[in-house]
Amino acid sequence: MNEPRASNRTQAETIAAILAGEIQLFHELIRPHERTVYLMALSYMKNEADAEDVAQESFVRAFRKLNSFRAEAKFSTWLISITLNEARTRLRRKTLVPMDSLDAPPDEDQPVSPALLRDWREIPSEAVERGEIRLLLQEAIACLPDIYRRVFVLRDVEEMNIHETAEALNISIPSVKVRLYRARMMLQKRLAPQLKTAIRTSKRRWFPWS
């Protein structure tokens, strides 16, 4: 993920300026990260209202402890760890579920079989403009086991690299790779047939002569 610059300053300069008292710059600093933080919060909380709450709280917390941010880390991954902590604390308060079970890996030894197809006709990005296609994609991602979804969201939805994903989630690089492989195969298995059908039926609906 590119770390966009806040106006002409580098991110490090912006952070230094905030710590030196130009606190209004915090608005600019966080703007590029709103979606990632929200999606990570959503991957824990499972509903929009709680996810928004956690996201807000995480940004406020990030502001309060900005002086503990170390330049060696990336701001985005630092922000995500704060978000994960905040979400876990909430869930612990809410459900009294032991945290182990929330992060426990499902059976990782079983291979995931993909959907077998003989040919694949590329589905163009414009398809995403259609609500039903967006819904298919959202539901498929929502149905992934939690620990796979978090890796998938950071790596493939937010397009962070493998190292950043490992750092943000505090897991090893091999774990990122295995979980990503499983998430991608599960999505292919579910989505490939669904997308094929959705595109085929909609074509018939749009162009009755074809």
Partner 1 sequence: MVIECRHVWNYISEYLDGTLSQETRTVVQKHLEHCEICSAILDSTRNVIILTADDRVFELPVGFSERLHARIDAELREER
Residues that bind partner 1 (CB under 8 A): 23-24, 26-27, 30-31, 34-35, 38-39, 48, 52, 55-56, 59-60, 63-64, 111-120, 122-123, 125, 127-129, 133-134, 137-138, 141, 152, 156-157, 159, 162, 177, 180-181, 184-185, 187-188, 191-192, 195
Q: Which residue's CB is nearer to partner 1, number 30 or number 102? A: 30
DSSP letters spanning 37-95: HHHHHHHHH-SHHHHHHHHHHHHHHHHHTGGG--TTS-HHHHHHHHHHHHHHHHHHHHH
How far apart are CB 60 and partner 1 at their closest, in Å?
5
What's the distance, Cα to Cα, between the start and end of the chain in Å? Answer: 41
Q: Within a 10 A sphere around the Cβ of 162, how many other Cβ atoms?
A: 15
DSSP letters spanning 18-49: HHTT-TTHHHHHHGGGHHHHHHHHHHHH-SHH
Q: Which residue's CB is nearer to partner 1, number 41 or number 168? A: 41
Q: Which residue's CB is nearer to partner 1, number 101 or number 125? A: 125
How far apart are CB 73 and partner 1 at their closest, in Å?
21
Q: Considering Cα of 40, then 137, then 135, then 122, what sign does the dihedral take?
A: positive
Q: Which of 98, 190, 205 is nearest to 148 (CA)?
A: 190
How far apart are CB 205 and partner 1 at their closest, in Å?
20
Q: Which residue's CB is nearer to partner 1, number 64 or number 205? A: 64
How far apart are CB 151 and partner 1 at their closest, in Å?
11
Q: Which residue's CB is nearer to partner 1, number 98 or number 131? A: 131
How far apart are CB 45 and partner 1 at their closest, in Å?
13
Question: Half-sphere exposure of residue 97, counting CA atoms within 13 Å on the CB side?
Answer: 11
Q: Which residue's CB is nearer to partner 1, number 102 or number 199? A: 199
How far apart are CB 9 and partner 1 at their closest, in Å?
18
